[in-house]
Structure 1
Amino acid sequence: MGAKFAPSVANAFMAQWEEEAVYKNPPCELGLFKRFIDDILIIWNGSRETLEQFLSELNNNDRNIKLIWHIDMKKVEFLDLEISIEDDRLTTKTHFKEVSRNSYLPITSCHHKPWLYNIPKGQLVRIKRNCMKDADFVTQANLIGQRFVKKGYEEEQIKREIERIQNFPWKPEVCDIPVPNLFYGNTATLKCKVSNVFPKVLSVKWLKKKKDSEQKLPLSQNDGYNISDLTPEKQKDNTFTYKACIKFKPSIADEGEEFICRVEHPYLKEPVEKSTGPLTIEAKPTVSGPIKLSFTDSEEVLCSLDIEKFYPRNIQIKWNDKETSDCGKISQNDDRTYTINSEYKLPGSFFSLPDPVVRVSWKHDSMEDWESREMSVLDKEFPWKPEVCDIPVPNLFYGNTATLKCEVSNVFPKVLSVKWLKKKKDSEQKFPLSQNDGYNISDLTPEKQKDNTFTYKACIQFKPSIADEGEEFICRVEHPYLKEPVEKSTGPLTIEGASKQPEMCNCSVYEGGPWVAKGLCRLAFVGFRPASPPYKSMVMQKQLEAG
C-alpha cells in the first residue's frame, strides 16, 4: 500500500466513515459488520433487496468511497478465508485468489536452511488453522506441498510435515471453571486452567453473559474486575500450562449471569469457551443486635430479633427450639438482599422459672449449620433488672416512731425478696431484724406500672434509742435477675435530742464569803440529748448578786 503509514491512515479514514455511516444508526437487519482496512464482512438478517438498498446508501457519501460487493446465500470470501454455511453452521477453509501463484522461495536460495524449511511449516500451520474440516486441510496441504516440491524442497520432508501438523500432539486443553460458593460482598476468584500449550502463544479473554440474554460482554480492569496476567508454567514434557484468573466481589445483580473464559491459540480451529453456567449468589444472614423483649397488652412477653442481609429469600427460624410456621415479616433491601423481623410470644410466667433463657436459631442455604443467639436474665441487655434506690433517712428523734423506706422499681417478674439488717457501730457484722425485735416490717406489695413492670416499697418502723446512735440499717434485695443481692444502707444513724424539755434535778445556792462579793447558784438538768448547743454542759452555772 505504498508508505509504511498508509495502512494506518486508511484504517483511520475508514473507521471515521463507518462510525457515521453504520454505527450511528444501524439498521435492525444488520447482524454483523466487520472490517479489516478496506475489506468488509456483513451478515444480513433480511432480504437481498434491503441489503442492496443499505449498501447503495453507504455508497452515497462525499468521501469518494465506493463499495463493490458480492452477495451469496451460501458462501463468501473474506481476506484469506472462504466462509460457508453447512448444516446451519459456519465452516471455513483457506481462500486462494485466482491470481495466486507459486512465489515461494526456492530451496536454492542463499537464506539460512532452517529458515527456508520453516516456510512450508508456517504455511501448513496457517492452512491447519483456517480449515475446520480435516478433509479440507488434507486437500489444501497437498496443494501447498506440491508447490514447495516444485521449488526444490524434499517431498518426503514435506509429507512428514503435513502428517505432523495434521496429527499435531499439542492442542491446548481447556479445563472447566470450578465455581466456588459465591457470597455477596466477599471477594471470589474464578480460575480457568489451560494445559498442553505449545508454543506459548495464548490469548485469554473473560466475558460475561447477562441473564436471559445471549450477548457476551468483554470484562476489563476498569469494570471493577481484577484480571491477572497470564504466566506460562513449563511442564516436564516441555509444554506449558496457564491459569487465567479473575477476581470480583459478587453482588445480587450477578445472580443467573455467566462468566465465560475464551481461549485462543494458533492450533485451535476456533476459540474455546468455558462457562461457569448461571451463577448462584448467596448472602449469609447477619445479626447485629440482641434479642429485644417487650410487653404485649395481654401481659405476654414479645421476643423479637432482626436478621439482616441474606439472600435468597428462604430462611428457617426456631424460637426455644420450636420451629415457627410464620418466620416473620420479610422486607427487601436496596441491594436486593432481605431482612426479616422475627417475633415470638412467651407467657410472663416463663421468666419466673429458674435461669430462663430465650434462644432464637436460624438456618439459611448459605450456612452449613444452624446459628443462634440467646438472651439470659443475667445479660446486660436484659431490660428488666430491679433498680434499688437509696434509703432516705429522716430526722431521727429519741423515742419518736421513725419510718425507713427502700424503693425497688423495674421489677419483673414479681418475685422479690427483701430483708432488713442492722450493723452495730464499729462492727462489720450484720444482724437480721424481725417483728419480734420490736420492729414493724411491712409486707411487700407490688405496684404495677404503665410499662407492666412492678415497683415495691419496703418499709420498717421503729422507735430510735440512744443505743442506735452510729448504727446502720441495711435493706438487702434479692431477685432471680440479680447476680448477687443488692444492699442499700442508711449510713451511721444520728439520734436527735428528746422530745420533752430538759428537767432540773438539783438546785444549790451558796452565799458569798468575805472574799466573795456575790452569791453562786448551781442548777443540774437531765433527760436531754445531745450535749451540743443549745446546752453546753449537763451543769449550768449562773452568778447571782449577793443578798
Structure 2
Amino acid sequence: YFLAKPQLLVPVSRRLVGPGELKYLVTLEKFYPKEITIRWTNGVGEPQESLSSTESFTDIPDGTHSVCSEVTIPEELLKNTEFTVRVSWEHETLDTPGYKDLSIRDSDYLWTPVVKEIQKPKVFHDTPVTLQCHISGYFPNDITVNWLRRSLHQELCEETNLVIRTRIPRKEADNTYSCTATLTIIPTLSIHQGAEYICRVDHPSLERPIERITEKIAVQDLPWIPQVEEIIVPKLEEKKKASLTCNISGYFPDHLKVSWFKKEPGTDSHPIKTPLPNDYYKVIEAKDQKEKLSCQSCLKFTYTSKRDHGAEFICRVDHPILEHPIERSTGPIGLGKLSMNRTRNT
C-alpha cells in the first residue's frame, strides 16, 4: 500500500463552446488512492457559489490514477472583470486542499481583442470622412470603444458630438466575436490639420485598453468641380475599330456618373447602354485615385457609314457638386474626317 499526491502537470485548459460559453478543464495525475474530491466555485472577489462539474477517471498502468474535471461558465458572468473561478481538490495525501484561481485577466487567456491599425482614408476639407478600426478574436462580447483627437499642439480631447458607431458584432466560426468601430468626422483645415485620431478599445480581459493611432491627418482642399475635356475623336475608317475618349479630372467626392448618348441625324438623343443587344457599342471606364480623382471614359465601336455617318456622340458627366450635367459632343461624325467638338449645356 502506498500514497501518491495528485499533481497538476499541465495548465488548466480553456475552450469556447457554443452558444456563448467558456469551458474550463483541469487534469490531476498520478495520485493514489483513487478517492478524490474536486470542487468548482465562482463569484466576484472570493469564489463562493458552487458549480456543477463532470469528472472522468483514468487508471494508469503504474497503479496510480488521473482525473479530468470540466465546468462550463456562461458568457455573461465573464463580463465582470472581478469574476473569478476556483477549482480545488482534496485528497488524503494533502494537508490542505490544492486549488487554482482562474480569470479572463490571466496572462494565458487566449481571447483578448486583436485591434488592427486604423484605415487611412483621403481627408478633404468640409467633407464627411469615416475612420474605421477592425476588432476581432475577443470573448466575451463586451467591447468598449472611445475615439480621441490629439491636436497639433498635443491637446487631447474625446470625440462625443460626432457620429460614432460600433457595427453589430459578428460571431465567428471559432466562437469569438469581431466588429468594426467607425468615427465619421467633418474635417476642417483649422481644427484637423496635423491632428491624430486615437481608437481606444477596452475589454474585460485587458489590464489596460489597446490604442491605435492614425498618422497626422493631412486635410486637402482640392477643386471640386469636374474638369471635362473635349472628346478625342480618331480618324474614322470603314469597318475599322474606333474609340471615342473623354477625360475627366479634379472632382471630389468620388460620385461621378458618366453616360454616353448617340444622336441620329434629325432625332433626339437616346442613351447607349452597355452591352447593347447588337453589341455595336461598349463603354469602358478607368479611374485613377492615387493622387487626384480622375476618370477616362471610352466609347468603343466598329465604324460603318450606314449606321454611324452623320451621327453625333455625346458624353454626359454628372456629379453632386454640379447643378446641371456637363456635356461634350463629337458633332456629326463621318468617314475619314475629324469632327468639330462641341460643348453642350443641359
TM-score (norm: length of structure 1)? 0.38
Aligned match for 1:410, one of 107, 130, 137: 137
| CA distance in 2 between partners of 1:324 and 1:347 (Å) | 11
Aligned with 2:204 (options 477, 480, 485): 480
Q: What secondary structure, in the 3-state scheme, does the structure 2 residue paired with 1:350 have?
A: helix
Equivalent runs, 1:146-545 vs 2, <5 Å: 280-320=1-41, 328-427=55-154, 429-435=155-161, 439-467=162-190, 468-500=192-224
Kept in 2, the 8 Å contact 1:291–1:374? The answer is no
Deviation track 1:5-35 (CA, whole Å, cap 9, x = no partner) reads xxxxxxxxxxxxxxxxxxxxxxxxxxxxxxx
- Please give the per-residue CA displacement for 1:110-148, whole angstroms capped at 9, x wherever unaligned: xxxxxxxxxxxxxxxxxxxxxxxxxxxxxxxxxxxxxxx
Is the CA contact (8 Å cut-off) linking 1:290 and 1:381 kept in structure 2? no
Alignment RMSD, CA only? 2.6
Partner of 1:143: none
Structure 2: 5+ residue stretches without partners = 42-47, 228-290, 293-346
Amino acid at match of 2:156: K
The SS at the match of 1:404 is: strand
Unpaired runs of 5+ residues, structure 1, are 1-279, 504-532, 535-547
The alpha carbon displacement at 1:441 in A equals: 1.6
CA distance in 1: counterparts of 2:38 and 2:208, whole angstroms: 34
Work out which of the two has the higher radius of gyration on C-alpha atoms and give 1 or 2.
1
Over 3 Å counting, the alpha-carbon distance change for 1:367 and 1:408 in structure 2 is same
**Pairwise CA distance, 1:440:** 2.1
1:512-532 Cα offsets, whole Å, 9 max, x none, are xxxxxxxxxxxxxxxxxxxxx
Using the TM superposition, give the Cα deviation of residue 369 of structure 1 relative to its aligned residue in structure 2, in angstroms. 1.4
**CA 1:345 to 1:449, structure 2 compared with 1: closer, same or farther past 3 Å?**
same
Which one-letter code corresponds to 1:407 in the other structure? Answer: H
Q: Which range moved further: 363-372 or 280-289?
A: 280-289
Q: Residue 298 and residue 469 in structure 1: after superposition, are their counterparts in 2 closer, same or farther (change >3 A)?
A: closer
Letter in 1 for 2:109: F
Over 3 Å counting, the alpha-carbon distance change for 1:286 and 1:404 in structure 2 is: same
Q: Output the amino acid matched with 1:482.
A: L
Q: Residue type of the partner of 1:287?
A: L
With over 3 angstroms needed to count, the CA separation of the structure-2 counterparts of 1:328 and 1:469, relative to structure 1, is same
Change (3 A) 1:471 1:415: same
SS of corresponding position for 1:393: coil
Change (3 A) 1:324 1:406: closer
Cα deviation for residue 483 of structure 1 reads 0.9
How much does 1:497 deviate?
4.2
Alpha-carbon contact 2:167-2:179 (below 8 Å) kept:
yes
User: How many residues get paired?
Assistant: 222
Contact 1:408–1:457 under 8 Å retained in 2: yes
Contact 1:295 1:452 in 2 (8 A): yes
Task: Name the TM-score, length of structure 2 as normaliser.
Answer: 0.58
1:284-342 deviations in Å (ceiling 9; x for gaps): 11112332222333433221111111112111100016677865111122323211111
- One-letter amino acid of the structure 2 residue matched with residue 431 of structure 1: C
1:490-535: CA deviation from partner (whole Å, max 9, x where unpaired):
02112234143799xxxxxxxxxxxxxxxxxxxxxxxxxxxxx99x
Q: Distance in 2 between matches of 1:413 and 1:323?
A: 22
Query: Matched residues in 2 for 1:498 and 1:352: separation?
Result: 47
| Cα distance in 1 for residues equivalent to 2:66 and 2:212 | 45
Asked if the contact 2:125–2:186 (Cα under 8 Å) also holds between the matched residues in 1, the reply is yes
The answer to whether the 8 Å contact 1:296/1:302 transfers is yes
Determine what percentage of the aligned residue pairs are the same residue: 28
The amino acid across from 1:480 in the alignment is: P
- Tell me the distance in 1 between the aligned counterparts of 2:51 and 2:149: 53
